[in-house]
């Protein structure tokens, strides 16, 4: 098993005829993801990588019975793309687009949830269940099937840690990049709950960074609701106070959100925190968690 995506995923690529959309659609098809259609208004009837293109999500879902979508639509139009997917019965929506205004996300997130859908992102690398489905921009080559579930706010750190795990022969059940914006659709807690209930996932890696309080909330949740071992890593221990680093959400404000505070919260919850990305794999191997 895995979480969120697998061989039963039927994926629509919104923005498939754009440069990024077409490139990554081809990559996902080559990986083996079941990409059943794409959407670009005015391009209906075309094909990309053998995938039919539709003018609207309504027509795409009606023709393909899709249950997931991925969005490569420019920021000014991405909010409407998310809403169109949710309003047409898509259960899993993955938004790669960065730069969506926070006020748009304030409106979108509750609407998506009211439709019974799940949003991953925005401003995220997507997710992958190795050997089953790749939905996003992650490189399939560095992943291998296994028992480690990984959830991360940082795409780059995700790749580094996954590569370190794979180089040690440690595979992954599902790797989820939730994105680093202040408001996103899926939290650490959401993913911890899914990994906890997935019989294939034997241990969890949680990768956080400075800014916000999501990691602290995840630590408190894990203390009482997660029985599987967790290894953590927090980026930003050397970040200057008050300086935004990387993601829009990676800023320390009001005395909260520091890397030190997050590490302390995780350790108090019984979670071992690695000093660096490569050391995450070392801890997993040393503790025989895989």
**Nearest partner of 262 among 223, 226, 222, 209, judged by Cα:** 209
CATH topology of domain 139-286: Rossmann fold (3.40.50)
β-strand partners of 255: none
- pLDDT score recorded for residue 3: 97
Whole-angstrom Cα distance, residue 121 to residue 94?
6
Distant-in-sequence, close-in-space partners of 166: CB < 8 Å, separation ≥ 6: 142, 143, 144, 172
pTM as predicted: 0.94
Is 143 catalytic? The answer is: no
β-strand partners of 73: none
Give the domain ranges of the chain: 11-120, 139-286
- pLDDT score recorded for residue 212: 85
CA angle 132, 135, 139 (to 5 degrees): 85
Query: Quick one: CA dihedral 130, 135, 139, 141, positive or negative?
Result: positive
Cα–Cα distances in angstroms (integers) from residue 158 to residues 31, 195, 206, 235, 277, in the given order: 19, 17, 10, 11, 9
The tens place of each residue's pLDDT in the chain, 290 residues long, gives: 689 999 999 999 999 999 999 999 999 999 999 999 999 999 999 999 999 999 999 999 999 999 999 999 999 999 999 999 999 999 999 999 999 999 999 999 999 999 999 999 999 999 999 999 999 999 999 999 999 999 999 888 999 999 999 999 999 999 999 998 999 999 999 999 999 999 999 999 999 998 888 999 999 999 999 999 999 999 866 555 555 555 555 454 544 578 899 999 999 999 999 999 999 999 999 988 87
Cα–Cα distances in angstroms (integers) from residue 275 to residues 178, 208, 282, in the given order: 22, 12, 11
Among 24, 111, 247, 286, the one annotated catalytic:
247
- Does 11-120 carry CATH code 3.40.50.720? yes
């Amino acid at each position: 098993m895995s979480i969120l995506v697998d061989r039963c995923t039927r994926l629509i690529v919104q923005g498939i005829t754009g440069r990024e959309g077409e490139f990554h659609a081809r990559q996902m098809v080559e990986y083996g993801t079941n990409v059943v259609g794409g959407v670009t208004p005015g391009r209906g009837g075309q094909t990309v990588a053998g995938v039919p293109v539709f003018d609207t999500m309504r027509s795409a879902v009606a023709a393909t019975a899709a249950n997931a979508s991925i969005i490569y639509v420019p920021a000014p139009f991405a909010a409407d793309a998310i809403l169109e997917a949710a309003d047409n019965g898509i259960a899993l929506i993955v938004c790669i687009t960065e730069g969506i205004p926070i006020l748009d996300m304030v409106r979108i997130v509750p609407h998506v949830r009211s439709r019974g859908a799940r949003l991953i992102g925005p401003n995220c690398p997507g997710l992958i269940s190795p050997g089953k489905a790749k939905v996003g921009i992650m490189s399939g080559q560095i992943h291998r099937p296994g028992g480690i579930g990984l959830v991360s706010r940082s795409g780059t750190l995700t790749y580094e840690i996954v590569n370190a795990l794979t180089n040690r022969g440690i595979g992954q059940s599902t790797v989820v990049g939730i994105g680093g914006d202040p408001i996103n659709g899926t939290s650490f807690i959401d993913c911890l709950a899914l990994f906890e209930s997935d019989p294939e996932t034997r241990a969890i890696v949680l990768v956080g960074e400075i800014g916000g309080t999501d990691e602290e909330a995840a630590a408190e949740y894990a203390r009482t609701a997660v029985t599987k071992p967790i290894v953590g890593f927090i980026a930003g221990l050397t970040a200057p106070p008050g300086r935004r680093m990387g993601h829009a959400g990676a800023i320390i404000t009001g005395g909260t959100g520091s890397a030190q505070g997050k590490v302390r919260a995780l350790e108090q919850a019984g979670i071992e925190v690695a000093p660096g990305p490569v050391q995450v794999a070392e801890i997993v191997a040393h503790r025989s968690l895989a």
